[in-house]
Amino acid sequence: AQSVTQLDSQVPVFEEAPVELRCNYSSSVSVYLFWYVQYPNQGLQLLLKYLSGSTLVESINGFEAEFNKSQTSFHLRKPSVHISDTAEYFCAVSDRYGGSQGNLIFGKGTKLSVKP
Amino acid sequence: DVKVTQSSRYLVKRTGEKVFLECVQDMDHENMFWYRQDPGLGLRLIYFSYDVKMKEKGDIPEGYSVSREKKERFSLILESASTNQTSMYLCASSSTGFSYNEQFFGPGTRLTVL
């Protein structure tokens, strides 16, 4: 069975500092990987995804994540965070070959708190 | 843009009441999902549906039922609400086409059961 572990439940950082949110997954098959973001009092929005090809994927607001198959990781990074990045971030995995009609398995989330 | 809407942002109900949470998507997606979100537990799948009138249990279906009479609408029903069902409920939809399982979420309904 697939599972996702987000190693940090909370990450406080100062504005303009770099940040890394860690995500590890376990799966016996090839996977698709996602990062979702949830701003306060809102639903989840897709931040970025890895489907195939280049192992480094980027979002439009400066986040990037790297798929590392040997370490089964998909860590999210940003070189310089803004106050507006304060949100909860969820890593998710799905079975590449269909499985359960496109179900995603979510991690428990990491709350990023950016302080001035 | 895909739009997933949920009937209420905030809802307060009393123990024992029957509660309906409605979700509508406008992108002709085949799959629809209901999750509950609790602090420290992340998102847990309650039920999902991959076609009209079809439903599958997720990880925590106890105390819930669902209905999907039309492709665009997926309802979550709490037959007899209890205080431990106080939570944020999120609806999502996805396509079985080439969207690689990307799910689109509604804004959520924060349900309080007194």
Mean pLDDT over A35-41 rounds to: 92
To 5 degrees, how large is the angle CA A12–CA A15–CA A18? Answer: 75
pLDDT in tens, A9-26: 999 999 999 999 999 998
Q: Which residue of B has its CA nearest to A51?
A: B100
What does the pLDDT read at residue B102? Answer: 82
Q: Identify the band that residue A103 occupies on the pLDDT scale cut at 50, 70 and 90.
A: confident
Mean pLDDT over A64-70 rounds to: 93
pLDDT in tens, B12-23: 999 999 999 999
> What is the spatial distance between Cα B81 and Cα B94, in angstroms, rounded to a whole number?
28
What does the pLDDT read at residue B2? Answer: 64
Among A32, A36, A108, select the one facing B100 at the smallest CB separation.
A32
Residue spans of beta strands (DSSP E) within B1-114: 4-6, 10-13, 19-25, 31-38, 42-49, 56-57, 64-70, 73-78, 87-94, 104-105, 109-113
**CA-based diameter of chain B, in Å?**
43
Terminal CA-CA length for chain A: 41
Whether residues A102 and B105 touch (CB distance < 8 A) is answered with no
Is the pLDDT at B33 greater than 60, yes or no? yes
Is the pLDDT at B67 greater than 70, yes or no? yes
> What is the spatial distance between Cα A50 and Cα A57, in angstroms, rounded to a whole number?
6
Structure token digits, residue B69: 């009479």
The answer to whether the beta carbons of residues A22 and A8 sit under 8 Å apart is yes
The answer to whether the beta carbons of residues A93 and A104 sit under 8 Å apart is yes
The answer to whether the beta carbons of residues A78 and A10 sit under 8 Å apart is no
Q: Identify the band that residue A111 occupies on the pLDDT scale cut at 50, 70 and 90.
A: very high
> What is the spatial distance between Cα A95 and Cα B50, in angstroms, rounded to a whole number?
16
Residues of A in contact with B101 (CB under 8 A): 32, 94, 102-104
> What is the spatial distance between Cα A43 and Cα B71, in angstroms, rounded to a whole number?
21
CA dihedral B43, B33, B92, A4 (to 10 degrees): 30
Which residues of A lie closer than 8 Å to B, measured between beta carbons? Answer: 9, 32, 34, 36, 41-46, 49, 51, 90, 94, 100-104, 106-109
What does the pLDDT read at residue A31? Answer: 82
Average pLDDT for chain B: 92
Whether residues A102 and B101 touch (CB distance < 8 A) is answered with yes
Length of chain B measured in residues: 114
pLDDT in tens, B50-61: 889 889 999 899
